[in-house]
């Protein structure tokens, strides 16, 4: 039987009793072709999140640079070379002793005219703990006439990635990945209890699909979802939907950004994940 109300124990765990909660933050910002402005904004928002007690902070996709065409190639860095951009984020993570997920970082690839769209986990010591390269590339013609071809300048990966953080084992993804539930099944099978979805969702798709998709991934995976977001006008006619949010394993949005740049701050509670999974054991009931 589905749809039974939460019992008292479930409610107590959900609201923080009987468990240890970790404060997390999803960043919302408007990246542009102005690299230095983007970095200053990201730093200010991470510092604000840290000052409010967040121990895991997720930055959005395209955080370093969101501009037309192949301009991203000019700012791409190799992870092992520790260039000035990655070094800046590493110093930010280590100075505030937090887990920082740099949502979509432009990483150099073996191809001179393509980059990886990479989500980088920097630990409290400033070291790279994990790097997830986006699997699903957004090649679409949208109803509003916009034509997006990520594969023109990006290479796709095929490796699902998890990483250990203060908030639990995180399954990493980026933006368009959220439309592919099989990826999140794989991440849950690897032990994930938190899913990160840094994004630059277009206004056209976001207004109809953003909340539905994120809540669905939370409910079916019985995981917390931390979705950082781009918002507003970036260049030309390119606009993002925003609404960075934190969603719990029951599918409830527990924190969400409004208009403009800012933070969605909530709590991840490992005990609540266990309680939800015990209350509705759908992960154990899988047949296919």
Asked if the structure places residue 3 within a domain, the reply is no
Report the pLDDT value the prediction gives residue 10, as an integer from 0 to 100: 54
pLDDT on residue 101 = 98
- The mean pLDDT of 6-17, rounded to a whole number, is 52
- Radius of gyration of the chain measured on its C-alpha atoms: 18
Residues that are catalytic: 61, 134, 175
Q: E-assigned strands of the chain?
A: 22-29, 56-58, 99-108, 115-122, 128-133, 139-141, 147-149, 154-155, 161-165, 168-172, 194-196, 224-227, 229-235, 238-241, 245-247, 253-256, 262-268
Query: Facing residues of 28 across strands?
Result: 229, 262
Q: How confident is the model at residue 271 (pLDDT cuts 50, 70, 90)?
A: very high
Summarize pLDDT for 29-46 with one digit per residue, the tens.
999 999 999 999 999 999
State residue 172's pLDDT score.
98
Q: What is the pLDDT averaged over residues 231-246?
A: 94
- Residue 144 in any domain: the answer is yes
Q: Is residue 5 one of the residues assigned to a domain?
A: no
Answer whether residue 40 is part of any domain. yes
- CA angle, corner 114, sides to 110 and 120, nearest 5? 80
Per the domain annotation, does 284 fall within a domain? no
Query: CB–CB of 213/178 below 8 Å?
Result: yes
109 domain residue, yes or no? yes
Assess if residue 15 is contained within a domain. no
Look up the domain containing 167 and give its range. 22-278
| 169 Rama class: left (phi>0) / alpha (psi -120 to 50) / beta | beta
- Please report which confidence band the pLDDT of residue 232 belongs to, taking 50, 70 and 90 as the band edges: very high
59 within 8 A of 46, measured Cβ to Cβ: yes
Per DSSP, 176 falls in state G
Domain assignment present for 192: yes
Q: Tell me the pTM.
A: 0.92
Say whether pLDDT at 27 is over 60. Answer: yes
The total domain count for the chain is 1
pLDDT tens for residues 171-216? 999 999 999 999 999 999 999 999 999 999 999 899 999 999 999 9
| CATH number of residue 54's parent domain | 3.60.110.10
**Residue 4: its pLDDT value, please?**
46
What is the residue-wise DSSP string for 181-247? HHHHHHHHHTT-SEEE--B--BHHHHHHHHHHHHHHHHHHHT-EEEE-EEEEEEETTEEEE---EEE
Per-residue pLDDT at 14 exceeds 60: no
Q: Is residue 140 within 8 Å of residue 148, measured between CB atoms?
A: yes
């Amino acid at each position: 039987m589905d749809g039974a109300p939460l019992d008292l124990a479930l409610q107590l765990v959900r609201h923080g009793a009987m468990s240890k909660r970790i404060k997390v933050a999803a960043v919302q910002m408007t990246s542009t072709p102005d690299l230095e402005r983007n970095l200053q904004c990201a730093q200010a928002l991470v510092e604000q999140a840290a000052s409010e007690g967040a121990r895991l902070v997720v930055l959005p996709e395209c955080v370093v640079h969101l501009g037309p065409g192949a301009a991203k190639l000019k700012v791409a860095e190799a992870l092992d070379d520790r260039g000035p951009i990655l070094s800046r984020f590493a110093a930010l993570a280590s100075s505030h002793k937090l887990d920082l997920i740099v949502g979509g970082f432009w990483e150099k690839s073996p191809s001179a005219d393509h980059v990886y769209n990479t989500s980088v986990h920097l630990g409290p010591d400033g070291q790279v703990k994990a790097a997830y390269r986006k699997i699903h590339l957004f090649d679409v013609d949208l109803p509003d006439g916009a034509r997006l071809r990520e594969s023109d300048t990006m290479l796709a990966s095929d490796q699902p990635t998890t990483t250990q953080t203060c908030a639990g084992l995180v399954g990493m993804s980026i933006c368009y990945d959220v439309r592919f539930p099989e990826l999140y099944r794989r991440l849950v099978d690897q032990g994930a209890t938190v899913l990160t979805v840094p994004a630059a969702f277009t206004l056209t798709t976001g207004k109809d699909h953003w909340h539905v998709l994120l809540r669905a991934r939370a409910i079916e995976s019985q995981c917390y979802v931390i979705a950082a977001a781009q918002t507003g006008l970036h260049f030309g006619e390119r606009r993002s939907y925003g609404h960075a949010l934190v969603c719990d394993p029951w599918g409830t949005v527990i924190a969400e950004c409004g208009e403009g740049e800012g933070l969605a701050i909530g709590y991840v509670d490992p005990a609540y994940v266990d309680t939800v999974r015990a209350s509705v054991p759908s992960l154990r009931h899988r047949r296919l």
